[in-house]
Amino acid sequence: METNGERIRRGRIEVICGSMFSGKTEELIRRLKRAKFARQSVEIFKPAIDTRYSEADVVSHEGNSIHSMPVESSYSILLLGSDTEVVGIDEAQFFDDNLVQVCNELANQGTRVIVAGLDLDFLGVPFGPIPALCAIADDVTKVHAICVKCGNQAYISHRTVSDNKRVLLGEQHEYEPLCRVCYLESIKKGQDKQTDNTPDQK
């Protein structure tokens, strides 16, 4: 479709989800770099909460980084990303639920929105706005880590330290990717340990 020789931009929503260590951010960076090569304007946003590496960079575990902007709320993405052809959003699980509406509006305006985030929290519960984003997305890619116990495809990021706070930002030593079988086994072991030892402090 052309008007005045200019191609009409087609907005869409792409979701890249999976457990930790599954390569979500690498895949996000790969797609954004391709868009840059195609001379499209690209902006990347991440929740201001994620300060694991550097303040202003999306940094993946492979050390492959791309410049990004930390924002406090999803509405900032709508304000700051409206004139951009391709908007990337990393660690999207930590954003508020309005992210769903924000992505929809950007896509309706003709922006290609690529969202990367954890599909499940460490208890196996769908995480933040990710499930709703998967539902409205034009395209969903689920990436997988490898279970550290058996080598099968992992489905969850199991927390190896005892802390029940949902938003605990991942350092490699605090989480391990596990398959369903190994996850259930380690939960069972953890419960057995608790009943063997002193009563639960909670």
> Rounded to an integer, what distance in angstroms lies between the CA atom of residue 116 and that of residue 68?
13
Task: Indicate if 26 belongs to the active site.
Answer: no
Determine contact, residues 107/113, Cβ cutoff 8 Å: yes
Active site residue: 26, 91, 171, 174, which one?
Answer: 91
Q: Considering beta carbons, is residue 123 or 150 the nearer one to Zn ion?
A: 150
Binding of residue 179 to Zn ion (CB under 5 A): yes
Determine contact, residues 92/117, Cβ cutoff 8 Å: yes
Which one of the spans 85-93, 97-105, 120-128, 171-179 is the region binding Zn ion (CB under 5 A)? 171-179
Binding of residue 144 to Zn ion (CB under 5 A): no
> Rounded to an integer, what distance in angstroms lies between the CA atom of residue 48 and that of residue 74?
11
Q: Considering beta carbons, is residue 101 or 152 the nearer one to Zn ion?
A: 152
Determine contact, residues 180/157, Cβ cutoff 8 Å: no
Q: How far is the CB of 187 from Zn ion (least distance, A)?
A: 13
Binding of residue 156 to Zn ion (CB under 5 A): no
Q: How far is the CB of 156 from Zn ion (least distance, A)?
A: 10
Determine contact, residues 95/129, Cβ cutoff 8 Å: yes
Number of residues that bind Zn ion (CB under 5 A): 6
Of 145, 147, 156, 175, which one interacts with Zn ion (CB under 5 A)? 147
Binding of residue 182 to Zn ion (CB under 5 A): yes
Binding site for Zn ion (CB under 5 A): 147, 149-150, 152, 179, 182
